[in-house]
Amino acid sequence: MGQIQILSKEVANKIAAGEVVERPASVVKELVENSIDAGSSKIEVKVKNGGKDLIQIIDNGVGLAEDEVKLAFQRHATSKISRANDLFTLRTLGFRGEALPSIAAVSKVEMISKTEDSLSGTRLQIVGGEVKARESCGCRKGTNIIVRDLFFNTPVRYKYLKQTSTEIGHISDIINRLSLAYPKISFSLMHNDRQIVETTGNGNLLDVIFNIYGRDVAKEMIEVDYQDNYMQLTGYISKPTITRSSRRHQSYFVNDRFIKSGLMSKAVKEAYHTLLTIDRYPIVVLKLKLNPVHVDVNIHPTKLQAKFSRGNVVYELVKDGVSKAIKESDLVPKLKLEENDKQQKINQKKKVKKEEFKQDELNLKTSNTNNTKPNTGNVSSRDTKKERAEKIDKLFRVDQPQVENNNKKSKIKEEADNYNDKFNLVALGQIHQTYIVAQGQDGMYIIDQHAAHERIIYDQLLSKFKKQEIQIQELLVPLQLDLTYQEVQLLKERKERLEGLGFNLEEFGESSYLVRGVPIQLYNLDDKQLILDSIDNLLAQEVTENYQLVEGFITMMACKTAIKGGDKLSTTEMNHLLGQIKEYDVTNCPHGRPVMMHLGKKELEKKFKRR
C-alpha cells in the first residue's frame, strides 16, 4: 500500500462529480432546479444527442452579478444557506453548492448571466474545471448556461452512457416531474431542434397531467385536497380503472421537491386497499406541504430522498386524504353506448366470424367420434362472471351426447378405469373453482388451473415465435396509446421486436401510437393495458437483450389469456387441460410457481390409518 497523500483538486473534483453527475439527465436536473430557485417563470431546455454533445438551459430568473459568476463554480459556494441551522429550514431546491463545480469538472461549460440592474452581462468559459475566459457581453436578464461534451475527460464514464433515445427519455422524465411540481412555470424541452415538452405555465396542474399522460388519463383523475393543523396534501390520483404495472407513474413532492418516498407510496396503496388488483398501481401526483423543520432532504447529493421527523403522522395524513378523495368521487365506469352501437354495425357489415378469432394456442384436442373441432372464444378480464363462464365453456366445448346427472358418477368411474398412458390423470372435480383435483395411478394430484394453463400458452407462444408462426388479428377500430416521451422512445427502439410478437404499430402524432393489429391470442382482451404494462416493465428493467424482451412479453400474454382462478370448468374441460399438462410436461408456471401437488396413495392410506 502506498503512502497517504492529499488528492489534487482536479482528482477530488472528478470524484465529487461522480456523486452528482451520473448522466445527462443529472445535469439537466441540477441546472433547471437552479433556474427555479432563481425565480424563473420560463425555462427552456435544449439538448443534442441525448445530452452527450450539448445541454443548454435558458431562464428569465434574477441572474448573477459580475462578481458572482466565477464564484458560483467554486465548491460549496451557494446563495441558499449561510449557516448550519439553515439546513433545517430549506425552502429551495439547491443548497449544497456542489452542482456547478461538479458539472464543470467533467465538461466544457459556458455561462452567460445578467441581473436586471446591470448594464451588461458576464460570459464565463470553463473547460474541465479550469477557467479559460471571462468577459462582459450584451444579453437579456437571466442565465444562459451551455454544457458541451459531457465526460470528455473521463472516457470511462462516457462509455457507460446509454443510447441517445434512452438518455433523452430520462431527461424528458425529469422535465415532466418538475413541470408537475411547478405548473406556474412554463417549461420547454427540445431535442435535436425538435419540440418534446412544452407547458403553458398557467398554474393548472391538471393541464400538465393532460400534457404528459394524455386525455384518457387526465379525465379519470380525482382531485385531492386535504389538510390538518400542520400539513396540507394536494394533487391528483387516478381512478381504480386507470392503473399501471409499476410505480413509475407515481410522483410525490415535499415542499415542491420531487422525492422517492416509500412511505407515501405505501400510504396511497393502503388508501386504495381492495380497489386495486394485485400488482396494479394508480397514477399519482401528490404534493405535501409542511414545515421544513419536520423533513430532512440532506441525505444524498441527488436530494431525491427525504426523512420525516413524524413519519407516522405523514403516513396517516396521506392515507386519509387519498381515502377521502376516493370515497367522494364517482367510481362507476361510464359506458360509451354510441361507440358500442357503431362497433356492432361494423361487425355486421364485415360479417366477422367467430372462427377468425379462435385461440389456436389452446389446441385442446379430444378424441370424439364426430371429429368436430372445439368452439373457441376469448375471455376478457372485463366480462361478467356469466359471460366468462360461457366463454370458458367455448374454449373447451366439443359435440358429445348429453349425459344425465344420474350417470355422472358412472362416467367418471369409466374414465378412471380406462386410464391410458397418454393422459395419465383423470379429473375428479374442482376446489374453489381454482384447483383441479385429479386421480393418477400413484395417488391424488391438485393442479392450479391458471398456473398450468399459463405455462401451456407460454410454451406454445414461445415455440410459435421461434418458428415465426404467430398470427396477427387486425383490429376493426385501432387502439390509440397516449404515451410520455420516454415511453415513445422506448417503443421506437422495440417496435421491430413487438411486431415480431404480432403487434401492428403505427406512429400517430408526437406522443401517440395506433395499434392496428394484435396477436390473435389477445383479441378481445384489454390490449391497450397490456401494451402499457409491457412498456412499464421494459422501462423498469431497462431490458436490452432481445430474448429478455420476447420472454417477458410472452409471459405477460400467457398470463392475460389463461383461464383464471374462479373460472368453473366441466369435467371434459378439466381433462383436456390435464392432457395438455402431460403433453407439455408442465411443472411450473412462467413465474416459477408450482403447477401441481401430489399426495401419494401410500400417504393417503397412512392418513386414513389403513397402513
Neighbours of 34 (CB within 10 A): 22
The Cα 374–Cα 392 span in angstroms is 12
DSSP string, 230-253: S-EEEEEEE-TTSEESSGGGEEEE
Which residue, chain included where needed, has cell 444557506? Answer: 81
In b/e form, how buried is each residue of 378-387, taking b as 16+ CB within 10 angstroms?
Answer: bbbeeeeeee
426-584 under CATH 3.30.1370.100, yes or no: yes
* Closest of 72, 151, 157 to residue 106, by C-alpha: 151
Q: How many other β-carbons are positioned within 10 Å of the β-carbon of residue 390?
A: 14
Helices assigned H by DSSP within 467-526: 485-500
The pLDDT confidence band at residue 394, using thresholds 50, 70 and 90, is very low
The beta strands (E) that lie in 52-115 are given as: 54-59, 108-114
**pLDDT for residue 92 is more than 50:** yes
Q: Write the pLDDT tens digit of every residue in 227-245.
A: 998 899 999 999 988 888 8
Apex CA 46: angle with CA 40 and CA 48, to 5°? 160
Q: How many Å separate Cα 606 from the centre of its chain?
A: 51
Give the whole-angstrom CA distance, residue 144 versus residue 28: 13
Cβ-contact 597, 446 below 8 angstroms: yes
| C-beta separation of 595 from 379 below 8 A | no
Contact by Cβ (8 Å): 391, 525:
no
pTM of the predicted protein model: 0.67
Secondary-structure class of domain 9-83+93-198 per CATH: alpha beta
Q: Which long-range contacts (CB under 8 A, 24 or more apart) does 9-13 make?
A: 9/129, 10/105, 10/128, 10/129, 13/75, 13/101, 13/102, 13/105, 13/129
Kindly state the cell numbers that stand for 538. Answer: 421494459
* pLDDT of res. 540: 59
Rounded-to-integer distance, Cα 121 and Cα 143, Å: 9
Q: Which grid cell sits at 161?
A: 452512457
Q: What is the pLDDT of residues 499-533, one digit of tens each?
A: 777 788 888 887 888 888 877 766 555 556 666 67
**pLDDT reported for residue 239:** 92
Kindly list the distances between the CA atom of residue 156 and the CA atoms of 10, 17, 23, 151, in Å, as whole numbers in the listed order.
16, 14, 13, 8
pLDDT of residue 415: 44
Higher pLDDT residue, 457 or 472?
A: 457
305-319 pLDDT tens trace: 888 988 999 999 999
CB 326 within 8 A of CB 237: yes
Q: Degrees (nearest 5) of the Cα angle 43, 47, 53?
A: 140
- Helix or strand (DSSP H, E) at 431: strand 426-431
Q: Which helix (H) or strand (E) holds 296?
A: strand 295-296
Residues 359 and 379: beta-carbon distance below 8 Å: no
pLDDT interval class at 26 (50, 70, 90):
very high
Nearest to 253 by CA among 180, 315, 204: 180
The pLDDT-based confidence of 541 (bands split at 50, 70, 90) is low
Q: Rounded CA gap, 208 and 199, in Å?
A: 7
Q: What is the 8-class DSSP label of residue 335?
A: P
Task: Report the run of H or E that residue 530 belongs to, with start and end.
Answer: helix 527-541
As a whole number, mean pLDDT of residues 329-341 equals: 58
205-328, what's its fold?
A: Ribosomal Protein S5; domain 2 (3.30.230)
Map out the domains of the chain as residue ranges.
9-83+93-198, 205-328, 426-584
Task: Choose among 317, 322, 333, 318: nearest CA to 223.
Answer: 322
Which three three-digit cell numbers place residue 195? 419540440
Q: Is the pLDDT of residue 173 over 90?
A: yes
Which of 497, 502, 494, 495 has the alpha carbon at shortest distance from 469? Answer: 502
Alpha carbons 310 and 248: distance in angstroms, whole number: 26
Say if residues 236 and 224 touch (Cβ distance below 8 Å). Answer: yes
